[in-house]
């Protein structure tokens, strides 16, 4: 599972003195200081600022700041807040440089604020076309910026990399990093190493081929590109790592089917070790999910490990050359990405000092890997797992054959499900406690192979499974009971003991990313619309703030004029938020989207405005008169084309319109104007005419009418 023989480049010196950190950083005002290699290497000593996505190259999200601590956190109060102009999921990590906060919002917008007063300094809108939303599997989110020199760097949903002047927000240059004719998106934050801006992309559900690339920070020229899966035409002239990968795929399918790009997108996690000059990337799922269609063997069932899907891959950052890999889920078929947060640390294991890499990917196992060689050290379940019984001595999962749906061709309930035991939400590490804090959850899924599946790169969600197979029945009581099985937790994981030290149970899943501090605290927002502080050693809740909206983004902390601040971007959204029953089947609901930046300090006295009333259309559908055949067709097409945004079973989310309450249900022409003609494309609802004919789109309408009547009869208002 690993390859060795590489030589670390070690082109950058670590251990830069704290005096090389940003100067003037305790003064709120102009951001004239340049950020270079020295500042990024010394970011761990810079307590005033937060200058990269995970604060340091190790991505530990730990700050030694302790002016806010376990003894006084009860005095933490809101200092100021800023309303966002996008009512979609907010997932960004703000950067803090020289007293100013820079952040991205949904739709790839950028905003700059004075970190002390909240004064707006500038705003930038890249004007991402609304129709781009249909290419995004999981909301129109963006996770943040990178900085180098006097510029900020942004990846946009439509695949551009943009350099902005940090003082003015004006565009210095922009570069298209993807084939915009395909369904690529960019939602992750760039990273910068020695003047190279590194960015990946998403789109594995839509038939793309994944890669990560480096661009010159000065002018945007591409410096290197690393593909994560082969294209099926490899020969002796191809890169050796791709030749090796091609042997683990059905090369003919890859080479002959343009609609199956293989997947393997690098849509989120990266970390960097400057001593080794190694960049670590997390590689995503296959395209389609079902390996039986992506890489069939002679008997038509799934075959091959399909490198480098669901892998951690180490790349020489200066050249883009392959160093080693570790595959967490060989031959993945369940959307078990390894794009989740990667963090680096040095610790003693079995009496020996080790340079390790740690990850809790979707598949439910917590991994500790030697980051110099890729050697497997340990892998243990951090949530309930039924697809494998453990990891063998070679680091390979011991699979449960009944869950290998690409082999059996039969439905199976698998846990974790496609949302994973941990998704994109960043973890945090506290070096004094030697604990990794995981925003985990329990949510299994029924995987039912779709018969005679064919890819559709126009508008289709290409997974090779029937996404309607796990729809809950109309019985509201049963749905409430089923919702009760969805759990969220904050787990303090001991990577040496290989077990939790403590666990905090949340009311539901999809809780926010994490921050650990030298004040003995762990901060986290929740799906229950709270922002909380916990004791880092015991898990005791020490402080809570009613945020009025679900928080999924991770917090940051910084100082200005010697005063410590904690900031978090609030706003419910993302994959799970799009898929849940608009507030009807769990105690948390309705979870609202009220997008804001919240900034706290000791003694803060600001207050949020009164919670706005929930404006919701009544459930008053027209009568359901369609035949069983039409409703069945509508159910099938809804699952393939609509469920990913409007929730399975047409139950309606709180982020996007609840179709059961749509005024177009009773007007066929109005429905067709939206679905076929795309009159709402600027809002993200494009035409589906390339994938659905008018009879099929009207069958979806009849299915939604049927479901709306079921729910109304069951007591839904």
| Omega of the bond leading into 347 within 30 degrees of 0 (cis) | no
Please give the Cα distance from 338 to 344 (Å, whole number).
15
CB atoms within 10 A of CB 443: 23
* H/E element, 445: strand 445-447
Query: Nearest Cα to 297, choosing from 404, 391, 393?
Result: 404
- Which one of 335, 406, 658, 711 is the catalytic residue? 335
Residue position matching structure tokens 């009311």 = 507
Please give the Cα distance from 153 to 495 (Å, whole number).
34
Please give the Cα distance from 515 to 568 (Å, whole number).
10
Q: How far is CA 614 from CA 19, 136, 164, 176, in A?
A: 51, 27, 37, 40
Burial letters 618-627, b for 16+ CB under 10 A, else e: ebebeeeebe
* H/E element, 313: strand 311-316
Query: Nearest Cα to 91, choosing from 679, 573, 646?
Result: 573
Known catalytic membership, residue 693: no
Q: Where does 222-273 have alpha helices with state H?
A: 240-246, 251-256
Please give the Cα distance from 576 to 296 (Å, whole number).
30
What's the 3-state SS for 517-570?
A: ECCCEEEEECCCCEEEEEECCCCCEEEEEECCCCCCCCCEEEEECCEEEEEEEE
Please give the Cα distance from 551 to 588 (Å, whole number).
13
Please give the Cα distance from 660 to 237 (Å, whole number).
55
Q: How far is CA 326 from CA 163, 329, 376, in A?
A: 33, 9, 8
Instruction: Tell me if residue 203 falls in helix, strand or coil.
Output: coil
Two tokens, residue 563: 């005063």
Please give the Cα distance from 201 to 135 (Å, whole number).
12
Which strands form 270-273's sheet, in the order they lie side by side?
Answer: 270-273, 278-282, 311-316, 321-327
168: left (phi over 0), alpha (psi -120 to 50) or beta: alpha
Q: Counting beta carbons within 10 angstroms of the beta carbon of residue 535, is it exposed (0 to 12), middle (13 to 18) or buried (19 or more)?
A: middle
Q: How far is CA 467 from CA 187, 639, 648, 649, in A?
A: 24, 5, 7, 9
Please give the Cα distance from 508 to 505 (Å, whole number).
8
Residue position matching structure tokens 């909301």 = 139
Query: Nearest Cα to 339, choosing from 266, 242, 238?
Result: 266
CA torsion 540-541-543-545 (nearest 10°) is 170
CA torsion 227-231-236-237 (nearest 10°) is -60
Please give the Cα distance from 167 to 102 (Å, whole number).
10
Please give the Cα distance from 359 to 379 (Å, whole number).
10
**Which positions are catalytic?**
335
């Amino acid at each position: 599972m690993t390859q060795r023989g590489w030589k670390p480049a070690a082109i950058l010196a670590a251990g830069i003195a704290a005096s090389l950190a940003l100067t003037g950083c305790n003064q709120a005002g102009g951001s004239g200081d340049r950020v270079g290699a020295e500042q990024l290497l010394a970011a761990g000593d810079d307590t005033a600022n937060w200058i990269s996505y995970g604060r340091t190259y190790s991505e530990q999200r730990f700050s030694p700041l302790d002016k806010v601590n376990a003894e006084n956190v009860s005095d933490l109060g809101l200092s100021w807040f800023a309303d966002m102009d996008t009512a979609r999921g907010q997932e960004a990590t703000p950067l803090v440089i020289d007293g100013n906060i820079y952040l991205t919002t949904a739709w790839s917008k950028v905003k700059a604020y004075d970190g002390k007063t909240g004064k707006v300094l500038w705003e930038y809108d890249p004007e991402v076309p609304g129709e781009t939303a249909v290419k995004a599997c999981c909301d129109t989110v963006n996770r943040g910026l990178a900085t180098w020199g006097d510029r900020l760097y942004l990846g946009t949903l439509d695949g551009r990399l943009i350099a902005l002047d940090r003082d003015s927000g004006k565009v210095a240059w922009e570069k298209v990093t993807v084939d915009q004719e395909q369904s690529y998106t960019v939602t992750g934050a760039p990273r910068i190493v020695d003047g190279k801006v590194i960015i990946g992309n998403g789109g594995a559900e839509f038939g793309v081929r994944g890669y990560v690339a480096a661009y010159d920070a000065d002018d945007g020229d591409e410096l290197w590109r690393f593909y994560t899966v082969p294209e099926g035409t490899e020969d002796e002239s191809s890169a050796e790592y791709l030749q090796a990968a091609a042997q683990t795929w059905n090369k003919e399918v890859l080479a002959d089917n343009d609609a199956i790009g293989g997947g393997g997108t690098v849509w989120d996690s990266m970390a960097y070790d400057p001593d080794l000059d190694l960049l670590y990337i997390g590689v995503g799922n296959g395209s389609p999910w079902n390996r039986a269609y992506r890489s069939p063997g002679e008997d038509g069932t799934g075959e091959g490990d399909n490198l480098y899907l669901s892998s951690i891959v180490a790349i020489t950052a200066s050249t883009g050359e392959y160093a080693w890999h570790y595959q967490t889920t060989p031959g993945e078929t369940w959307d078990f990405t390894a794009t989740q947060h990667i963090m680096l640390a040095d610790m003693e294991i079995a009496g020996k000092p080790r340079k390790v890499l740690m990850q809790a990917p979707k598949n439910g196992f917590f991994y500790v890997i030697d980051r110099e060689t890729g050697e497997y050290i340990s892998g243990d379940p951090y949530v309930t797992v039924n697809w494998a019984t453990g990891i063998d001595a070679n680091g390979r999962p011991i699979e449960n054959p009944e869950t290998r749906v690409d082999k059996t061709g039969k439905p199976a309930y698998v846990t974790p499900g496609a949302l994973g035991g941990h998704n994109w939400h960043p973890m945090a590490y506290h070096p004094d406690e030697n604990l990794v804090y995981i925003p985990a959850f329990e949510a299994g899924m029924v995987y039912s192979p779709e018969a005679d599946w064919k890819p559709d790169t126009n508008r289709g969600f290409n997974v090779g499974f029937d996404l309607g197979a796990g729809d809950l029945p109309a019985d509201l009581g049963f749905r409430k009971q089923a919702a009760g099985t969805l759990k969220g937790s904050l787990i303090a994981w001991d990577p040496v003991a290989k077990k939790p030290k403590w666990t905090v149970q949340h009311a539901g899943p999809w809780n926010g990313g994490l921050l650990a501090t030298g004040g003995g605290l762990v901060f986290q927002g929740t799906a229950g619309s709270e922002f909380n502080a916990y004791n880092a050693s015991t898990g005791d809740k020490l402080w809570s703030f009613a945020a009025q909206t679900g928080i999924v983004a991770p917090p940051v902390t910084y100082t200005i004029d010697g005063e410590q601040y904690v900031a978090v971007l609030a706003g419910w959204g993302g994959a799970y938020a799009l898929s849940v029953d608009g507030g009807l089947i769990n105690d948390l609901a309705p979870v609202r989207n009220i997008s804001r930046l919240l900034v706290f300090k000791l003694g803060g006295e600001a207050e949020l405005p009164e919670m706005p009333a929930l404006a919701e259309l009544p459930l008053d559908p027209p009568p359901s008169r369609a035949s069983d055949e039409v409703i069945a067709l509508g159910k099938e097409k809804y699952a393939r084309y609509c469920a990913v945004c409007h929730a399975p079973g047409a139950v309606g989310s709180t982020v996007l319109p609840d179709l059961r309450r749509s005024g177009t249900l009773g007007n066929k022409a109005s429905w067709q104007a939206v679905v076929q003609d795309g009159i709402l494309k600027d809002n993200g609802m494009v035409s589906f005419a390339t994938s659905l004919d008018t009879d099929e789109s009207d069958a979806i309408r009849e299915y939604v009418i049927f479901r709306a009547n079921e729910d109304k009869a069951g007591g839904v208002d």
